Structure 1
Amino acid sequence: MSSANILTLALTVTFVSVIPHSSAFWLFNVVFPPNATQPLFRSNDTPPLIIVPGNLGNRMEAKIDKPTLVHWMCYKKTQDWFPLWIDLNMFMPIGVDCWIDNIKLVYNSSTRRSTNSPGVEVRVPGFGQTHSIEHLDTHRLAGYFHTMVQHLVNMGYARNETVRGAPYDWRLAPNENEEYLSKLKGLVEEMYDQYQRPVLLLGHSMGCHYVLYFLNQQPQAWKDKFIKGFISLGAPWGGAIKTLRVMASGENDGIPMISNQKIREEQRMVTSNPWMLPFVDVWPKDHVFISTPNASYTNQDYQQFFSDLDFEDGWNMWEDTKNLTSALQAPGVEVWCMYGVGLLTPVSYIYDDKYPDSDPVEYVYDDGDNTVDTLSMSQCKRWIGQQEKPVHVTEFRGMPHLDMVFHHKVLALMQQILEGNSDTPEEIDCRNDNVQKSSHRDS
């Protein structure tokens, strides 16, 4: 084993040992994900499928030739592309500074566009393939969609043929990702032509908003011809309250090697975070998302929120993105909307006088999937009766946000849909499953 592999393995073992089981950090909760079920049958009579991952949900690579460095130990120039997301070495003490400087965006308030850091090129590998969304690192340690894709293969799907991934630069909101949306449309049409069957789209978390935005841009006649339907998993349809904390004080999601305030520098520089702020038309105007000794912030106070953070670009980013999907225009295709409920989920963050350079000291909780609240995720119900195509809603009681992509009950329901059985139950109880899983992890 090479020294690089030894270091990566050592880092992974360290992460697994120090991150608490209750951590919400979705990436490392899926290191060594559960295996897919064994093949039950093989069928060539299922719709081709495209998977659109969530935020942070696919690999990215970089090549650099930088004019300046944030630290003398950082690389200034590389000849080849190297992993930008995710490379476990970035969690080393100096590595995180180098990584933030490489991955952060530079927002131009005049052009209202974002660019990479000076001297940095970024690309998304594997469009149309699944490897970039199955594992987020080249060592295949951080799994994401691997269990789902393997389950599909066991059903009779073929990687990079009948099931394909559509990774993207998740730092950007769709108004700055026009090339990706064009490629996604081309991929749909290519698969339709190849298999002579309409294509099913599947999204997780923020990826569902990308799918919704994409579908809203297409004529109904195009959707009627090319799209079989849309499966959404854990979508924050009304926005995500957590993004307010991310931009205010940062959120390292339980990784002790990186401070919240350190990671905040990168988190403020992506336009997809302001896009996902709680939507004004969904949340009550008097709901306080962030409370400090000096101010309280509702969805009526976003401009003041960014002003108090001395983060004017954040306000501009929100202005640029607030109308992209906030109207929740019905997608115009058959929808299967699935999400977790029954878990305590923060809906308000309370800070002391050290705000914003400290963590919340208290939380107000409501129902959700431990990451996104039920009010937001259940907004897909509004499409029932708004479109001719059916809308099916299934709530998984006790289902955490990330588990949607590999839990066996979700995969079983997906299999039912792919086999042509459209009707789905309104609720599926997963509480005993999670107790057993927790006991197994703790043993």
Structure 2
Amino acid sequence: PIHGHPVASCPVTTGSGTSSGASGAGLAPRGPGAGLRHQRAGRAAHRALPAVVAGLRGAQGGGVVPPLPQLLRPPGLRQRAVLRGADELRVRPRRRRLLQRRRSGDARPLLRLHPSLPLPRSRSQVSSNRMLLNKVRPKFLNFPHELVISNQKMLRNFSYMSTFVERLEKMGYRDGETMFGAPYDFRYAVAPVGRPSSVGDAFFRALKGLVERASGLNGGRPVVIATHSFGGQLAHQFLVRQTRAWRHQFVRRFVPIAASWGGVVLGMLTLVSGNNMGLPFVEPRALLRQGRSLQSSLWILPSPAAFGTATPLATTKSRNYSAGDVADYLVAIGFGEAVGPYESRVLPLFGGELPHPGVPVTSVIGVGVGTPERIDYPGDDFDATPSVVAGDGDGVVNLASLVAVQTPWSRHGGDFRMVKVSNMSHNDLLVDDRALDIIIREIQRAD
């Protein structure tokens, strides 16, 4: 879809010499009702864009195809597009409010706030970190809002996990019977025991019920909990808060994949430069405020236990910042309000050695991929573009964080294994056949 004001009617000359166009071609731009006619023609043209592409493809075999500016400039209609060359289209975007009413007859999808999210008190108070759900694709029924246990299905249409789910199905696991999904709203982070964390506490209660239900549906057999990335930290916090008897009865093995036990250096860069979360054509800095509003943004900051306090992770012309200087770093980048939550809610969980989860663990990690290890700013402030020094890891999580639990958990006396997959990036662990073979084998070995 072309966002902003759509181009008007689009007549197309196909290879056979026939001509077609959207309704509204030839309408005069002036006179009574001209604005309404122009809007209708624009909407018709928006719907006709696939026909334009199909016509152009059909014309490649023969016939004459006019240049694209001529195709998109019907007589009698004002041209709102900026055309550069004969094969490139640039449309000036129209500024729109986040919440808007659908125009009558407009077939384009409308983004609304998800109904499970609390509504803002006024339209001007829409928070920058509200998640949007496209109503045209209501498939993500349990992501990212609260967990629904009554009919908990894996997210088959969620591409992030779909390949992993398909491989499990090929091995005989059945969706909703022998495998279950537990999605979590990644914006929120849990807090230490005794501190308020409504979202995290509700998730842990729902997850506990899901584990017990999954076990009950399969003759009381204990479950295997497999997680990826941030899910590893969540599952670890969930397990250490359960009793030993409960863990022994319901959990056979914990399989964290690409878990960042000690945070990532990239988290320090994100709080300065932003993170577009993979969205194309979006400047990362445009989402800086949104990124800072996420509770989880503090969870991924480097911990002293994993990175030590002597190794500089971010540098300016006048100072070096290690994992032990994160509080000073937050003040220096103009995010001093995060110091309190960081010291009271993050350091108590990750500032020291992580406790063993109390169940057998197989940690699967990717290594051999360049990962940001140090951020060097050329001046005394953080306005200039930094240079990034790369080290080992999976492209997102540093090796020091990936292996932070290897030594202490191996000493615990329990069953702990770490499997390293060479030259494997953070997300490829869930889609690459070589990595999936290893993960599936570990799950089957436990099961």
Into which bin does the TM-score normalised by the smaller protein fall? Answer: 0.5 to 0.7
The 1:359–1:255 alpha-carbon spacing in structure 2 relative to 1, beyond 3 Å, is farther
Q: Residues 218-251 of structure 1, C-alpha deviation per residue, up to 9 Å, x if partnerless?
A: 1111111100101111111121111111112213
- Which sits farther off after the overlay, 181-190 or 409-418? 409-418
Q: Secondary structure at the match of 1:321?
A: helix
Q: Mapping of 1:254-269 within 5 angstroms?
A: 255=279, 257-269=281-293
Whether the 8 Å CA contact 1:344–1:366 is kept in 2: the answer is yes
Question: Using the alignment, how far apart are the partners of 2:381 and 2:128 within structure 1?
Answer: 22
Q: Which residue of 1 aligns with 2:328?
A: 304
Whether the 8 Å CA contact 2:129–2:291 is kept in 1: the answer is no
Whether the 8 Å CA contact 1:275–1:317 is kept in 2: the answer is no
Q: Which residue of 2 aligns with 1:90?
A: none
124, 130, 139: which is aligned to 1:102? 130
178, 187, 193: which is aligned to 1:171? 187
Q: Mapping of 1:162-241 within 5 angstroms?
A: 162-175=178-191, 176=197, 177-195=200-218, 196-241=220-265
Superposition RMSD in Å = 3.2
348, 357, 379: which is aligned to 1:353? 379
Identity of aligned residues (%): 25
Q: Secondary structure at the match of 2:370?
A: strand
Whether the 8 Å CA contact 1:173–1:321 is kept in 2: the answer is no
Shift of 1:81: 9.2
Shift of 1:82: 4.7
Is residue 129 of structure 1 aligned with residue 155 of structure 2?
no
Q: Which residue of 2 aligns with 1:73?
A: 97
The 1:421–1:345 alpha-carbon spacing in structure 2 relative to 1, beyond 3 Å, is same
Specify the code of the residue in structure 1 equivalent to 2:354: L
Question: Using the alignment, how far apart are the partners of 1:325 and 1:303 within structure 2?
Answer: 14
Whether the 8 Å CA contact 2:254–2:361 is kept in 1: the answer is yes
Q: Which residue of 1 aligns with 2:356?
A: 330
Whether the 8 Å CA contact 1:330–1:386 is kept in 2: the answer is no
Question: Using the alignment, how far apart are the partners of 1:302 and 1:418 within structure 2?
Answer: 37
The 1:172–1:190 alpha-carbon spacing in structure 2 relative to 1, beyond 3 Å, is same
Whether the 8 Å CA contact 1:383–1:391 is kept in 2: the answer is no
Shift of 1:307: 1.3
The 1:148–1:394 alpha-carbon spacing in structure 2 relative to 1, beyond 3 Å, is same
Whether the 8 Å CA contact 2:180–2:214 is kept in 1: the answer is no
Specify the code of the residue in structure 1 equivalent to 2:177: E
Shift of 1:421: 6.4
Q: Secondary structure at the match of 2:365?
A: strand
The 1:281–1:415 alpha-carbon spacing in structure 2 relative to 1, beyond 3 Å, is closer
Q: Secondary structure at the match of 2:439?
A: helix
The 1:322–1:416 alpha-carbon spacing in structure 2 relative to 1, beyond 3 Å, is same
Number of aligned residue pairs: 322
Q: Mapping of 1:355-434 within 5 angstroms?
A: 355-360=381-386, 362-420=387-445
Q: Which residue of 1 aligns with 2:273?
A: 249
Shift of 1:284: 2.4
Q: Secondary structure at the match of 2:293?
A: coil
Specify the code of the residue in structure 2 equivalent to 1:157: Y
Specify the code of the residue in structure 2 equivalent to 1:338: V
The 1:83–1:359 alpha-carbon spacing in structure 2 relative to 1, beyond 3 Å, is farther
Question: Using the alignment, how far apart are the partners of 1:189 and 1:82 within structure 2?
Answer: 35
The 1:254–1:384 alpha-carbon spacing in structure 2 relative to 1, beyond 3 Å, is closer
Shift of 1:208: 0.2
Shift of 1:356: 2.9
Whether the 8 Å CA contact 1:234–1:339 is kept in 2: the answer is yes
Whether the 8 Å CA contact 1:249–1:358 is kept in 2: the answer is no
Q: Which structure has the larger Rg?
A: 2
The 1:169–1:312 alpha-carbon spacing in structure 2 relative to 1, beyond 3 Å, is same
Q: Secondary structure at the match of 1:214?
A: helix
Is residue 149 of structure 1 aligned with residue 171 of structure 2?
no
5+ residue gaps, structure 2, are 2-42, 51-94, 103-109, 115-124, 133-143, 192-196
The 1:262–1:397 alpha-carbon spacing in structure 2 relative to 1, beyond 3 Å, is same
Q: Which residue of 1 aligns with 2:105?
A: none
Question: Using the alignment, how far apart are the partners of 1:381 and 1:323 within structure 2?
Answer: 20
Shift of 1:298: 1.2
Higher percent of residues as strand = 1
- Which sits farther off after the overlay, 311-320 or 159-168? 311-320
Specify the code of the residue in structure 2 equivalent to 1:123: H
Question: Using the alignment, how far apart are the partners of 1:311 and 1:241 within structure 2?
Answer: 17
Q: Secondary structure at the match of 2:323?
A: coil
Whether the 8 Å CA contact 1:332–1:387 is kept in 2: the answer is no
The 1:224–1:243 alpha-carbon spacing in structure 2 relative to 1, beyond 3 Å, is same
Whether the 8 Å CA contact 2:253–2:446 is kept in 1: the answer is no
Q: Secondary structure at the match of 2:237?
A: helix
Question: Using the alignment, how far apart are the partners of 1:179 and 1:395 within structure 2?
Answer: 33
Shift of 1:399: 0.6
Whether the 8 Å CA contact 2:228–2:257 is kept in 1: the answer is yes
Shift of 1:296: 2.1
Shift of 1:406: 1.8
Q: Secondary structure at the match of 2:419?
A: strand
Q: Residues 108-147 of structure 1, C-alpha deviation per residue, up to 9 Å, x if partnerless?
A: xxxxxxxxxxxxxx83465563454x444xxxxxx11100
Whether the 8 Å CA contact 1:124–1:169 is kept in 2: the answer is yes
Shift of 1:385: 3.8
Q: Secondary structure at the match of 1:230?
A: strand
Whether the 8 Å CA contact 1:337–1:380 is kept in 2: the answer is no
Q: Secondary structure at the match of 1:186?
A: helix
The 1:358–1:267 alpha-carbon spacing in structure 2 relative to 1, beyond 3 Å, is farther
298, 318, 339: which is aligned to 2:365? 339
